[in-house]
Amino acid sequence: MREPRTLGEFIIEKQNDFPHASGELSSLLGSIKLAAKIVNREINKAGLVDITGAIGTENVQGEDQQKLDVYANDKFKAALEARDQVCGVASEEDDEAVVFNKQLNKNAKYVVLMDPLDGSSNIDVNVSVGTIFSIYRRISPIGTPPTEEDFLQPGNKQVAAGYVIYGSSTMLVYTTGNGVHGFTYDPSLGSFCLSHESMRQPETGTIYSVNEGHYIRFPMGVKMYIKYCQENVPNEKRPYTSRYIGSLVADFHRNLIKGGIYLYPSSQSYPEGKLRLLYEANPIAFLAEQAGGVATDGKKRILDLEPTELHQRVPFFAGSKNMMQKLHEFLETFSDN
C-alpha cells in the first residue's frame, strides 16, 4: 500500500500546474501550513487555556475581535513574512494592508489576502472554524513596496486560493486553477496528507445553508427560493435539509462534499451583503468553480467583480450547479421586489 502523499510532495508533483512559481508556491503554502498547525494546536487547547472569548476590541468592520482572531492573524502574518515569497498581506483583522519591509520581501512576487479565523465566535462552543486565503501575483514593480492596486485585483486573477478547516479533523483544501485538492492533518506525523484528490461538487444536492433568522429581511427572490427548498416534492427529494453552522468554511466544505447551496444575500441590515469580497467570497468562489460549482452575487460571477476597497462587502451565493441555476431563476423572476 502506497504511503499517503504529503502536501509538499503533491505540490512538487503538480509543479506544472503553477508554471510561474518555480518552487515558490511550495514555500508559500509551507508558510500557511506551518501557521495552520500552530493555530490548530491552540484551537485544540481552547477551554484549557485563556485563549477563548472576546479581546475587548473591534476590527475595521466593527466586529468584536476574539482572542483567537488576533492570535491567528499574528501567526499567519509572521509565517508569511518569514519565507520571503510574500511582499504584503491584507487581513480581515487589519484596517489596512500590511507591507513587509525587508528587502527580500520587497523582491517577492506575491500578495496574500486572508481571513485568519473565519467563524471565530464558534470557538467557545467547540464548533468548526477555518482560515481562508487568496494569493495573487503583484502588479507593482518587484523591489518596491506593494501598492493598493496589488490587493484590489478581481478574483479571476488569483493564482491560488484555499482554506483550512479546524474540525473533527483538520484539513487544508486548495486550488491553483487545476482542480481542488484536500489534505488531512495527521498529528502523529505532523504532516498534511492527501486525502481528497480532485474534489468535485455534485451538480445537485439536498442541503441549503442560510441564516433563516434573517429571513424577513431578505430580498423576495431569496425568500421564494427558500420556500421552494421547503416544499414537499418527494420525487425531487424536497424538502431539502437546512444546515447552517455560521462558519463560511464549514458550511462550504460540507456542501462541497455532499452537494448543496450556500446563501448570504443582502438584507436590510447589510444592504451590500455581509461577506467580504477579497478574502472570503473570491477564494471560496475560485474553489467552487474549480470543483464544478457556481458562485455569484446573485447577478454576476463573483470572480469578475472589480474591487474598489479592501474590506468591500458583497452578497454571496455558492453551490452546486443545478441548485444555483434554480436560485437565479427566482432572483430574476422577483428582481423588482
Q: Residue 4 gets which letter from DSSP?
A: P
136 is an annotated ligand-binding site residue: no
Q: What share of the chain is helix, strand, coil (3-state, %, to 5)?
A: 35, 25, 35
- Measured distance CA(142)–CA(140) in Å, rounded: 6
DSSP conformation letters of 271-330: TT-SEEIIIIIHHHHHHHHHTT-EEESSSSBGGG----STT-EE-EEEE-HHHHHHHHHH
120 is an annotated ligand-binding site residue: yes
Beta-strand relationship, 54-58 and 241-242: unpaired
115 is an annotated ligand-binding site residue: yes
262 is an annotated ligand-binding site residue: yes
Nearest CA among 4, 10, 1, 44 for reference residue 198: 10
96 is an annotated ligand-binding site residue: no
Would you state the torsion angle of the CA atoms of residues 151, 154, 155, 160, taken in this order, to the nearest 10 degrees? Answer: -50
Q: How many CB atoms lie within 10 A of CB 229?
A: 21
CA 300 to chain centre: 19
23 is an annotated ligand-binding site residue: no
Would you state the torsion angle of the CA atoms of residues 160, 162, 164, 168, taken in this order, to the nearest 10 degrees? Answer: -140
266 is an annotated ligand-binding site residue: no
118 is an annotated ligand-binding site residue: yes
121 is an annotated ligand-binding site residue: yes
Question: 32 phi and psi, to 5 degrees?
Answer: -65, -45
Annotated binding site for substrate: 118-121, 211, 244, 262-264, 274
Annotated binding site for Mg(2+): 92, 115, 117-118, 280
Annotated binding site: 92, 115, 117-121, 211, 244, 262-264, 274, 280
